[in-house]
Amino acid sequence: MKEFGVGATLDYAWGFTKKHFLPMVGMLLLLILAYYAFEYLFMAVFGMASFTAGLEAIRTNPKDSVEVLTNLLITAAPAICAYTVCMSAVSTVFYNAYVNLALRLADGTKTGVDFSCFKLPLMTYVKVFFASLLTSVMVCIGLSLCILPGIFVLVRLIFVCIALIDDPELSFFDAFQKSWQMTKGYFWSLLLLGIMIVLIVIAGLCCCCVGALVSVVIEVFALAVAYVILSGKPLADHSCCTQCESQEA
C-alpha cells in the first residue's frame, strides 16, 4: 500500500493532468456548455427569463422595488424552486461523471477519456445528491460553531461522494462511515492538500480561461489520487510522475 503524502498526491495529479490534458479539458468544456444549454432551455420553458428581466428592472429603477420584488418572488416561487432543484441535479450528474472519469483513470480501470463515465446507476446519482446536501448542511453547522468544527467535518467527509461513485452498492450511511475511517489519522495532510488545491484554483483563475480549466482538472485528479491511495488500491501510470519514481527508487 502506497503511503499518502501531499507532495506525491499533487505530483500524481499533475502527471495524470499532463497525460490526459486535452481530452479532459475537452470533456470539461462539453459539460460546461451542456450545463448552460440546460439552463437556457429551463429558463425558456419556465419563464425564468422574465424573472431575471424583472430583477434587472428593479436594479435600474429601485423605486417601489420592495413591493415589486415581493410580487415577483411570489409569482416566480414555483419556477425558482424547480430551477434550483433541476440545475442542482444537472450539476450533480455532470460533476459525478467527471470525478468518476478521473477516478477510473487514476486507478487504471480506464486508459482513455470517453462518455462511459456517465454509466452510473440512477440511485448512485440520487445518493450522491443527498449526501452532498447533507455534508454541506453539517459543514455549515460546524462553521457556525467557531469555524474549526466545520473545517474538521469537511475534511473527514471529503470522500463521501467519491466513495458512492466508486462503489454504487455502498449504502448512503456506509459512505459517511467509510470516509470517516479513511481520513482517520490523515486530517492535517488532507487539510494541507485542500489548501494547496484552493491555491491552485486561485492561481488558475488568475491565469484566465486556460488556467482555470487546468486547475479544475488538477483538482479532480488530486481528490481521485488521494482516494485511491487511502483506499489501498494501486495507482496507474507511475511513469508519468517523476517525484513518485524517485521516492519508489
User: H/E/C letters for each residue in 35-101?
Assistant: HHHHHHHHHHHHCHHHHHHHHHHHHHCCCCHHHHHHHHHHHHHHHHHHHHHHHHHHHHHHHHHHHHH
Instruction: Supply 56's cell numbers.
Output: 434587472
Whether residue 221 has pLDDT greater than 50: yes
Structural domain boundaries in the chain: 6-242
Confidence band for 59, pLDDT divided at 50, 70 and 90: low
- Identify the sign of the CA torsion 243, 244, 247, 249: negative
SS3 4: coil
**What tens digit of pLDDT does each residue of 147-185 get?**
899 999 999 999 999 999 999 999 999 999 999 999 999
Confidence band for 146, pLDDT divided at 50, 70 and 90: confident
**What tens digit of pLDDT does each residue of 85-127 get?**
888 889 989 999 999 999 999 999 998 899 899 999 999 999 9
Q: What is the pTM of this model?
A: 0.83
